[in-house]
A = this chain, B = another copy of it.
Amino acid sequence: MLINSETLLRVRYAETDQMGVVHHANYAKYLELARIHWLEELGVSYKGMEAQGVMLPVVAMEFKFKISAYFDDKLTIKTMLRKIPTVRIVFDFEIYNSEKELLTTATTTLVFMDSKTRKPIPCPAYLITIIKNANQE
What is the CA–CA distance of A111 and B29 in the complex, to the nearest angstrom? 23
Copies in the complex: 4
User: Is A53 at the interface (CB under 8 A from chain B)?
Assistant: no
CB distance from A74 to the nearest CB of B (A): 12
Contact, CB under 8 Å: B18 / A61: no
Take A17-B13, A29-B12, A29-B14 as given contacts and tell me if A71 and B57 are in contact as well, using a CB distance cutoff of 8 Å. no
Q: Chain B residues near A65: list those with CB within 8 A.
A: 57-60
Q: Which residues of B contact A26 (CB under 8 A)?
A: 25
Contacts of A71 in B (CB 8 A): 18, 47
The answer to the question of A24 belonging to the interface, with a C-beta cut-off of 8 Å to chain B, is yes
A14-55 contact mask (Cβ, 8 Å, vs B): 1 or 0: 101111110111101100110010000000011100100001
Interface residues of A (CB under 8 A from B): 12-14, 16-21, 23-26, 28-29, 32-33, 36, 45-47, 50, 55, 57-66, 68, 71-72, 115
